[in-house]
Structure 1
Amino acid sequence: MATVGISAANNLESNIRTLAQTKRIRVTEFFQDFDKLRSGYVTEPQFFRCLWQTLSVKLSPNEEAELIEKYGTTQNGQINYKQFCEEIDRNFNPQDLHRSPITQIQEAPEFLGTLRSVRPVSQSSEAKIVHLLKRMQAYYSYHGINLRTSYEDFDRHHRGVVTESQFYRSFPGPPEVTEEEMHLLVTKYGDPDKPGLLNYLNLHHDITAIGQHVSIAEDVLIPTETRVDHIPAIATPDPALNQIFDKIRVAVFKNGIRTIEFFKDHDKLRSGIITENQFVCGLALAVGKEAQLSRHEIQKIVEYYRQPDGRVLYKEFCDVMENAFNIPDLEKKPLQTVVRPPRGVLSRGLKALENPEEQRINEILSEISDQVRRRRLMMYPYFKDYDRGKGYTRVVTKTQFSRILHFLSLNVAPEDLKVLCEKFKDPASGDVNYPAFVQAVDKEFVGHTMDDVDIKDKNRTKSPVPEVAVDHTASNVNFDDLLTRIRHIVLTNRLRVIEYFQDYDPLRSGSISKTQFRRGLGMLGLSKLGQHDMSEGQFQLLAFMYQNPAKQDHVLWVKFTEDVESVFTQKNLEKMPTYKVPPSEMFRAPKPGTVDFSAASEDHVALVDSTMERLRQRVDQRRVLAKPVFQDFDRHNNGHVTRSQFRQCLTILELHVTEAEMSALEAKYCNDVGFNYIVFLGELQPQEPPKLMYLQRMEDIRIANEKMSLPETNTAKDLEGVLMKVKTKVSKERIRVLEFMRDYDKLRHGRMLKMSFRRALDLCRFELRESEIAFLEDRYQSRADPDYVDYLKFCDEVESIFTTKELEKKPLQEVVQFRPPEEWQLNKLEPEAEETFQLCMERLTEKVRKHRMQLFPLFEDYDRVHNGTVSRSQFRRVLSELELGSLVNEQEFELIWKKFDVKIGGKDDVNYIAFCDMIYDLANFEWRKP
């Protein structure tokens, strides 16, 4: 009985496993919601509730008892759901080591809980169904059709079944399936429990299984290396059809045509089949013009790909044409051999004409060729100027062709021009193939022909060209000259040699290979693209001189770097304080090819000196500026011109020399780059070097600073006067002095340096003199440090004009507002001068009172800015206009100006308002009513 119970439990688990796989459910995740502690156990009601909620499985009492007996515990009535889930989810038993895991795999026999039809089907019908399924699988695989997606729109609840009418309506093919075969499919896959419904999902999985068996068989029969994933171009029995296909392949390959783009718009379902008319239209539009297809040739292609129902397989045609000289996904098949087009197939051939026309063409080309050879015409550039498309199309229109011939004066009759255009006509565009025409009439024009390619291929060998080994002993290279040249390059360009080699030596061993050393020299500028083209002999000499004794193929790059960088400084200079570093100028080397003029003969030196002296006198007499003439020829600004350009410059400057003198000058100033006109002009028109004026300027500045400062004017005599001046300025302009002072006291300790105090006073624009600032520094000097000033006390004193500090502690104190005195009131006169001033004012007052004069209007006419002041000359002019000037002599004018003097912009003006008010007060006039 126990064995029967276990067998029944296994059958029940198999059904649950099938249901879980069908719904793609992992049962463990739903049981864990009831097991908060992850103990692996749940109660019996929770176990069966979870099965009902997740899998919609309602078990009978006997089935529940079987599961409880297998997975239940006797202690507290719980069920081991973890063991149950492992049985449902796993495919084989990992504990069973006696059997292969493949033989233990437990797969669900059906999906969606359905069963296959058990209706008897004869063996012949079964064989027909298998054959039909293989045809359907091949068709679906080729056209990319999925049977399941064709019926999912009818299966809203995803149960895997549709009605028979829906099955017939959406059946995706193949089109050659007959009614009898459709009836066999309906009989085979009809659902026995639900009459009228058909299980399309089982049909889909059977077709998928057949495809897997086919792929496995292909893997066994066909090696992976030789398998091709596209339809190869197979020759047909009809030679004419093969010729048409070859012509289409060449046109597609040459013009880069995507043929499928012209057909797929007619195939909305992407079935790979379209109607005959659609195929004809698409083929004519795609390659009809490029391949020059006739109606008869298109019809032959249609007949080859036509199906029994009258439609055409365009997908197969497109695959064959587009993959003629290529294989899809070639990057995944590195060993695949690609078929190349035959030699000469892709070239533009000339059209064959009738015999009379061919003879006439030969005569025309012969005449044109004679004119081209006699007149030495280069025809190709003229044709190329008209070929302005995207990339050179190598064709021009017939009108352009005739226009170019007329422009070149190659007169051709209209009939002959038609024959020429017909001979060199491009098959695809109908234009004229001008490179072929130029090559036919111009024997010196070298165009690309297949004959040239054949000759080149015959002369070409695949064996590498052997390198000739160069030894340092075989070359006559001087090591000192080579090192001097390298040092000059490094010094001139300010290069750090170590940066070009240290990346090759990550272990900092001081040694790198010769190839790495050569690479570093190239980046340093010792290459064909750099400042010096280092030959192989020079490199071998360097490698030999700095060869690593321990490794014959390595170079001591650190030693080379130290020798070269010695142009900047000497190593370990801190250990040799008395060593005198040589100047860097001594390492500069002349240009290669410069002649050592010190070894020249006396006659040569005398000839050069006499020539230079004569040229120098002529240049000085005519005031010639020679350098701009040479610079016009020096386009690279390297200070050199060619020998012919040097002769040209002398001719332009009218500096005539004989041939012997010219040769002597060239021998002295020429090198491998050219004629060094900078050195030549330096000796022809020597200029005095600019004097070093820095020391003299510094001495002048020191002497100027030692001079005594100018005497101060209008300064306050005591501290009270300075404070009054500061308070008046603050009161008028509302300045917060503390804001300018506190920036110099970062720690807010109430003190600041005297220099900072002066700087802050300048920022406040008090315009204090040196003696006035000294008064303030002495008054507010810090007791703790004489170099500091207690700026807080100074700020409190200045701000007392607005209010009293800590007024909240003195409620009974009366605050008196500060009123700055008028500037003219600060002007004091001597007692004798004061008496003279009073007598003068009385005389003026007497006349003003007698005539009741108005003084303000005339003064205001001169006061354009209305600041209450006028100049002294304007003041005297107003008194003269008022007929008061005769009552005041020159001495009294000076006293009046001094009494009412105010400073406006550094200029002494007169405060006419105070003057008028004093006159009115002495005359006892009412306020503002004279």
Structure 2
Amino acid sequence: MAAVAGIQNLEDNIRTQALTKRIRITEYFQDFDQLRSGFISEQQFLRCLWNTLGLQPTEEEVQQFKNKYDLKNDGRINYKLFCEEIDRNFNPKNLYIDPVSQKNLPLEFLGTKRSVRPLSPESEAKILAVLERIQQSFPGPPDVSEEEMNLLVLKYRDPDRPGLLNYLNLHHDIVAISQQVAVEKGLVSTFQRNVDIVPVISTGDPALNQIFDKIRVAVFKNGIRTIEFFKDHDKLRSGIITENQFVCGLALAVGKEAQLSRPEIQKVVEYYRQPDGRVQYKVFCDMMENAFNIPDLDKKPLQSVTRPVKGALSRGLKTLTDEEERRVNQVLSEISEQVKRRRLMMYQYFKDYDRAKNYTRVMTKTQFGRVLHFLSLNVGAEDLKLIVRKFEDPASGDVNYPAFVQAVDQEFVGHTLDDVSMMDKNRTNTPVPEKVATAADCSVSYEDLMSRIRHIVLTNRLRVIEYFQDYDPLRSGSISKSQFRRGLALLGLSKLGAHDLNDPQYTLLCQVYQNPQKEDQVLWTSFLNDVETVFTQPNLEKDPNYQVPASEMFQVPKPGTIDWSNATEDHKSLLEITMDRLRQRIVQRRILAKPVFQDFDNHNNGHVTRSQFRQCIRMLELNATEEEMKALEAKFCNDVGFDYLTFLNELEPKPAPQMMYITRLEEIRNTNMKKKLPEQNVADNLEGVLNKVKTKVAKERLRVYEFMKDYDKLRTGRMKKLSFRRALDLCGFELKEFRSLHFRRQTPNDPDYVEYLKFSDEVESIFTLKNLEKQPLKEVVQFKPPEEWELNNLSQDGELKFMMCMNKIAEKVRKHRMQLFPLFEDYDRVHNGTVSRSQFRRVLSELELGSMVNEQEFELLWSKFDVKIGGKDDVNYIAFCEMIYAIAKFEWRKP
């Protein structure tokens, strides 16, 4: 036992030194343990103690360290166990014991002892009394004697440094005594620690507790900073002021708001008065500033906050004499009858006079009388004074108008009356305690409820796991019931969602998916597996032959829909006859029924009310008897209303749209497989072929040489015929007259080769001539590609008739100075200078020129000015108009 006590004293000494120097000794030991094994040699252990704490253990102390921390008896010390013993405040593995009781705090600071020889019990008792007096009036009471001062010096002197005192130990002793005094007064409970301010106190005097409650409520309701009314009297911030100063500050702070009388204020003064006559205002202010809260609550999660009782923060009504109460009740009853008879909404008129910006719910007496007069609720002067006294706010003296409105208007609920006598016993808005919902109260079965949930998930394509997995970070498959309810609401099972999941239905789900190990939790993964079967079956890879049911089988009608299969034959026949008659009338009159129903569907949910359905039937003049109406409502009505979309689908059935995707895909594939269209206007001679090539080169600005030189690596100026043809294809000519080009440009000595360089020079001569710098006097004629219509040739007879027709048209255009371009341009939407043949005829008819041209002449005009646009024959109206103007001898671009 002596060895155990010795090692504990040694550890306490080391702990005190470590706390004094504010160091963690673990960091110094780790430098000697490179492998982090937790063990170092004996010499290394002693060296660390000397370097960090300046300790030189004796041989006996070293042996004590070895006995406790040399676990393997190999001369190595387990420094980790030693550091945990020194640094540890409590054992984190033992959660059944309060951490406060496990703390190993040193009794001394700064590495000192109080005295070499302890004081006697009588001296310790005297020092304790002096410390209590010091705690009450720090920095020191004036009545400390010389003897008591000597005792304090003996208590706190430093044995190692004569003439110095350890004031830090004095400070901690005074703090400990103040906490003990607070415990004795009831300001803190014995099981709480480090609570600087406790908002609620409990004294032995019920009257004093009632005064404190009044002050707390007034401070909380009005947001009063009580310390602002006292600190100006405390220049030294000692927390103590005189009695007169405390009385003045308290009366000024909450005297009017809390309705404090002089005796009540004196009672508070006596509670906080010290022996020297001064008052501890700081303790009082700390309690009031945190009336219903605890400061630094985020650092004290285990503290329980005291809340005010229900109705404590509301404005109460004054108590009058019995005779006055009877008169007030009589006047209020008369006003209530007028309000009920005239259906007055009084609250809005009173609220307009609420003068404050933060909505104080009070108004002046003059304003109160003015509003009553405005509402023609005439009350006598004496009765008005009684009403004002009854509903007068004790703090401000104004009238509490919400309480008055609730007393006379049975339909108004916006204020809580504390006076039960002022409330109507037959009020329908009196709160009724709610009945606890159970699974037995559910009106639907579990199967029907799950069918409805599966339908919602299927139609909206919801991923159920997304709404619950965030509540289960550990993926345990279990969440609390409140989290389960929240996830269901996000899923759409709420009053604002697709289905109103009431309390009995929610209780039924919780009962089915209850966690057997935890009563307050739900197995949400089981719910997930049951719901998502609408998409697929779990573990389908293990059973490849399993036939997954169609998703349509999980769709259910809306709640309240009648199962028409169970209807009688008379009802079915009546419905069929009615639908046939209405269908025939709609077909005969070609009525659009849907827009009429949509005008009544403000929520756009496909439903209208029954009265709206009957109104729509009358507006559409689809007359039906009462029995037929009832049959239609029985078939198409549900809890939401009348399902007019289903009604119209059966009334006007539309053919189901065909799935054209595969057909269109096949058409596109067949189109892409077709070869290119055959070339039009194939030239029959070599000059025609060269003109086609030159025209394309001039329009697209191509360099033929760039496409052909890659086939002539040696730059000989010739290439094979096959390569020549391939190069022309790369140029995009798409010619069929390759044979003529081969014959014209083939090499004389080798018929398998083509002199492509000469061909390229001939083609590029449309821009300029080669070696033009050697022929400076030669004129270069720019190649002009012929217009497409200029290539159109008519027969000799057709040419004569064409010119005769053009002359007739030009003569009339010349006489009337007609504008041809504007009308043609109106039909030329893409501005390519062409119109269709029918448009060409229409323009001539609008210009009154069509009557001059017969059908044969129209054919000649079309053939002469024909151009190919997208494989279609169009007419070049620009060439036509310019030729007419040229024959009519108009100036260029005139008229």
On the 8 A contact 1:350/1:425 being kept in 2, the answer is: yes
CA distance in 1, matches of 2:386, 2:726: 101
Q: What are the residue-to-residue correspondences of 1:154-233 with 2, within 5 Å? A: 173-174=139-140, 176=142, 202=165, 204-205=167-168, 207-208=170-171, 210-211=173-174, 214=177, 224-225=190-191, 233=201
AA at the equivalent of 1:651: R
Q: What are the residue-to-residue correspondences of 1:266-665 with 2, within 5 Å? A: 267=234, 269-274=236-241, 279=246, 282-293=249-260, 312-322=279-289, 346-353=313-320, 360-375=327-342, 377=344, 379=346, 383=350, 393-442=360-409, 448=416, 489=456, 491-495=458-462, 531=499, 564-565=534-535, 588-595=555-562, 597=564, 603-620=570-587, 622-665=589-632
On the 8 A contact 1:593/1:671 being kept in 2, the answer is: yes
On the 8 A contact 1:23/1:112 being kept in 2, the answer is: yes
On the 8 A contact 1:397/1:432 being kept in 2, the answer is: yes
AA at the equivalent of 1:823: Q
- Deviation for aligned residue 1:659: 0.8
Change (3 A) 1:737 1:261: farther
So what's the TM-score if we normalise by structure 2? 0.52
Instruction: Give the corresponding residue for 1:138.
Output: 135
CA distance in 2, matches of 1:756, 1:281: 112
Q: What percentage of residue pairs aligned between the two structures are identical?
A: 49
Change (3 A) 1:180 1:444: same
Change (3 A) 1:571 1:820: farther
CA distance in 1, matches of 2:371, 2:189: 60
Change (3 A) 1:414 1:95: same
Instruction: Give the corresponding residue for 1:61.
Output: none
- Deviation for aligned residue 1:662: 1.0
AA at the equivalent of 1:427: P
Q: Deviation string for 1:406-456 (max 9, x for gaps)?
A: 343312245543432222111123222234323443567676456889999
Change (3 A) 1:379 1:507: closer
1:679 equivalent to 2:643? Answer no
Instruction: Give the corresponding residue for 1:13.
Output: none
CA distance in 2, matches of 1:291, 1:561: 59
- Deviation for aligned residue 1:314: 1.6
Could you tell which deviates more after superposition, 283-292 or 522-531?
522-531
- Deviation for aligned residue 1:630: 1.0
On the 8 A contact 1:491/1:567 being kept in 2, the answer is: no
CA distance in 2, matches of 1:278, 1:514: 55
Structure 1 gap ranges (5+): 1-16, 32-37, 39-79, 141-171, 193-197, 545-552, 742-752, 762-767, 780-790, 803-812, 829-870, 872-904, 910-930
Change (3 A) 1:649 1:382: farther
Instruction: Give the corresponding residue for 1:260.
Output: 227
CA distance in 2, matches of 1:379, 1:673: 36
Q: Deviation string for 1:339-389 (max 9, x for gaps)?
A: 776786555332245677656534432432332354455655665676697
Q: Deviation string for 1:438-497 (max 9, x for gaps)?
A: 3443567676456889999999899x8886599xxxx99797x88976765554334568
* Paired residue secondary structure (1:364): helix
1:249 equivalent to 2:233? Answer no
Change (3 A) 1:757 1:438: farther
On the 8 A contact 1:398/1:431 being kept in 2, the answer is: yes
- Deviation for aligned residue 1:208: 3.3
CA distance in 2, matches of 1:108, 1:598: 88
CA distance in 1, matches of 2:209, 2:531: 71
Instruction: Give the corresponding residue for 1:195.
Output: none
CA distance in 2, matches of 1:234, 1:703: 95
Q: Deviation string for 1:226-257 (max 9, x for gaps)?
A: 788658757598x9877655532342244453
So what's the TM-score if we normalise by structure 1? 0.51
On the 8 A contact 1:252/1:287 being kept in 2, the answer is: yes
* Paired residue secondary structure (1:202): coil
Change (3 A) 1:443 1:220: closer
Change (3 A) 1:562 1:249: closer
Name which of 42, 47, 54 aligns with 1:88.
Answer: 54
Name which of 705, 726, 735 aligns with 1:771.
Answer: 735
Instruction: Give the corresponding residue for 1:895.
Output: none
AA at the equivalent of 1:711: Q
Instruction: Give the corresponding residue for 2:888.
Output: none
Name which of 659, 680, 687 aligns with 1:711.
Answer: 680
- Deviation for aligned residue 1:204: 1.7
- Deviation for aligned residue 1:661: 1.7
AA at the equivalent of 1:615: L
CA distance in 2, matches of 1:399, 1:180: 70
1:823 equivalent to 2:782? Answer yes
CA distance in 2, matches of 1:409, 1:347: 30
On the 8 A contact 1:512/1:557 being kept in 2, the answer is: no
Q: Deviation string for 1:761-817 (max 9, x for gaps)?
A: 7xxxxxx64339999x999xxxxxxxxxxx9xx999999999xxxxxxxxxx99989
AA at the equivalent of 2:55: D
On the 8 A contact 1:272/1:314 being kept in 2, the answer is: yes
Q: CA RMSD in A?
A: 7.6
- Deviation for aligned residue 1:642: 2.2
* Paired residue secondary structure (2:634): helix
CA distance in 2, matches of 1:502, 1:191: 64
On the 8 A contact 1:273/1:312 being kept in 2, the answer is: yes
Change (3 A) 1:451 1:129: closer
- Deviation for aligned residue 1:272: 0.7
Larger-Rg structure: 1
Q: Deviation string for 1:553-585 (max 9, x for gaps)?
A: 999989967964469999899769xx9x99766
Change (3 A) 1:708 1:91: same
Residue correspondences, number: 668
On the 8 A contact 1:426/1:432 being kept in 2, the answer is: yes
CA distance in 2, matches of 1:599, 1:755: 81
* Paired residue secondary structure (1:290): coil
CA distance in 1, matches of 2:689, 2:658: 52
CA distance in 2, matches of 1:24, 1:514: 48
CA distance in 2, matches of 1:207, 1:23: 16
On the 8 A contact 1:290/1:428 being kept in 2, the answer is: yes
- Deviation for aligned residue 1:220: 13
AA at the equivalent of 1:176: P
